[in-house]
């Protein structure tokens, strides 16, 4: 099967290449006709916007922003908003496609979307980021809504960003619309357990993966790349389960302790200094080495494309749990498969965030708040169900977990599409 000429054609390298290759393989396995394959590979809607910003010193800067809605077949589009200098349209397209598969895999009634602004939030004041967020929201306002497309936090954004989006949207509508975003502050209709949901899901899946390989958490070791929203929580929950987290890294450095880092003290250090670098409870190491340390589990929890053809042969871990979206390139995937390294794919491993985002959206629609215990119990049940679905499909069809997860997700979207039909 070949990709139809009219489908989105990515650049020669990057996350969209990997996303399209994964879809191509799933489509071939499912023997999808070319037209349906093309439909699944093409975003339903894309918007690129120019975002002018009056900076605090009075100068004017202009940034590029994007919102891509990949699929609506199973429900409204859902996906995060990323602020990073590297953001471009192909990256957002890939992330939106992965969101479609992620939502289908964990059986939440959403399609996939993603947004991004090519800006470095670390070099802007809070007031500047608020102005950027509100202008971006006003530009994409015609294509978002609680029944259309629901943004959420991602790299470089947080619950405060979501509050600005909610307020901007609500002002435009003339009444408060809490369901327009998820990942909001609790006082504005957010959900208990949402802040740590992705991390908690990563830890649940990592522990299930360890059990599948006969690894006792009490005698296990791990390394986590990234110490932000996902990485910190993943490290914390793994440590609470008895795993020795030997190393973590962020954009400024990496630290290592053979007998395990004190995650609580490290988090306090990061709160004071903004980085893991300089933590006196560990030794400094090369950040690139975190992925190849002698540990049982590696959790890449930062950005895409960090496990590559160059470093995959050096990975010593028996298990890779993808806390980030698209951290493993296609070439690295093939190498890790050959070396019998178990790779738990992003659309399974880090789906906890969208699961609890769904719970938050449901609570907003009901004007009712669940307890944190209810949220966490339902999250664990949903993640365990998806894990067992993937393991069963993998075993029955001789697939890697990524192949099995993608085939299952694509098949669910295809089934919904076939039931709905094509209009007109």
Q: Could you state, in order of their start, the residue ranges of all structural domains in the chain?
A: 44-176, 197-349
The structure's pTM equals 0.91
Dist. CA 211–CA 241, nearest whole Å: 13
Dist. CA 262–CA 285, nearest whole Å: 16
The SS3 call for residue 320 is: strand
Residue 314 has pLDDT above 60, yes or no: yes
Residue 7 has pLDDT above 80, yes or no: no
pLDDT in tens, 260-308: 999 999 999 999 999 999 999 899 999 999 999 999 999 999 888 999 9
Q: Which element (helix H / strand E) includes 114?
A: strand 111-117
Which phi and psi (to 5°) does residue 147 adopt? -115, 10
Same fold for the pair 44-176 and 197-349: yes
The SS3 call for residue 222 is: strand
pLDDT recorded at residue 319: 98
CA distances from 315 to 15, 224, 307, 312, 328 (A): 21, 13, 9, 5, 12
Mean pLDDT computed over every residue of the chain: 94
Residue 114 annotated as catalytic: yes
Residues 197-220 as b or e (16 or more Cβ within 10 Å = b): bbbbbbbbbbbbbbeeeebebeeb
Query: Residue 2: pLDDT band by 50, 70, 90 thresholds?
Result: very low
User: What is the average per-residue pLDDT within 113-141?
Assistant: 98
Which candidate in 25, 102, 114, 229 is catalytic?
Answer: 114
- Yes or no: domain 197-349 corresponds to CATH 3.40.50.720: yes
Q: Which of 2-6, 219-223, 226-230 has the highest mean pLDDT?
A: 219-223
Among the four given CATH numbers 3.20.20.10, 3.40.640.10, 3.60.150.10, 3.40.50.10860, the one describing domain 44-176? 3.40.50.10860
């Amino acid at each position: 099967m070949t990709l139809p000429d009219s489908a989105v054609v990515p650049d020669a390298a990057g996350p969209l290449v990997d996303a399209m290759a994964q879809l191509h393989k799933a489509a071939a396995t499912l023997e999808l006709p070319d037209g349906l394959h093309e439909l699944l590979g093409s975003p339903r809607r894309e918007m690129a916007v120019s975002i002018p910003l009056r900076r605090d010193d009075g100068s004017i800067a202009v940034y590029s922003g994007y919102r891509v809605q990949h699929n609506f077949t199973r429900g409204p589009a859902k996906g995060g908003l990323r602020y990073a200098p590297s953001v471009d349209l192909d990256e957002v397209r890939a992330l939106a496609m992965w969101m479609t598969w992620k939502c289908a895999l964990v059986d939440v009634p959403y399609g996939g979307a993603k947004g991004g602004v090519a800006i470095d939030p670390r070099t802007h004041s809070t007031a500047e980021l608020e102005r950027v967020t509100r202008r971006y929201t006003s530009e994409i306002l015609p294509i978002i809504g609680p029944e259309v497309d629901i943004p959420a936090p991602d790299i470089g954004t947080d619950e405060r960003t979501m509050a600005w989006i909610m307020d901007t949207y609500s002002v435009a509508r003339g009444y408060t619309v809490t369901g327009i975003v998820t990942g909001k502050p609790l006082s504005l209709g957010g959900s208990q357990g949402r802040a740590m949901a992705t991390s908690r899901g990563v830890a649940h899946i990592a522990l299930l993966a360890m059990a599948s390989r006969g690894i006792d958490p009490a005698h296990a070791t791990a390394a986590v790349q990234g110490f932000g929203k996902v990485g910190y929580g993943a490290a914390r929950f793994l440590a609470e389960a008895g795993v020795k987290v030997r190393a973590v890294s962020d954009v400024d450095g990496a630290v290592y302790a053979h007998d395990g880092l004190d995650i609580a003290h490290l988090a306090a250090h990061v709160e004071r200094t903004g980085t893991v670098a300089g933590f006196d409870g560990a030794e400094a190491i090369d950040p690139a080495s975190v992925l190849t340390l002698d540990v049982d589990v590696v959790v890449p929890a930062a950005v895409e494309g960090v496990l590559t053809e160059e470093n995959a042969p050096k990975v010593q871990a028996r298990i890779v749990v993808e806390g980030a979206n698209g951290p493993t390139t296609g070439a690295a995937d093939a190498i890790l498969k050959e070396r019998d390294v178990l790779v738990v794919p992003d659309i399974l491993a880090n789906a906890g965030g969208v699961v609890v985002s769904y719970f938050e959206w449901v609570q907003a629609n009901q004007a009712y708040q669940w307890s944190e215990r209810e949220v966490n119990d339902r999250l664990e049940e949903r993640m365990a169900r998806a894990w067992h679905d993937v393991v069963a499909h993998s075993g029955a069809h001789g697939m890697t977990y990524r192949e099995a997860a993608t085939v299952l997700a694509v098949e669910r979207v295809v089934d919904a599409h076939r039931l709905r039909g094509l209009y007109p």
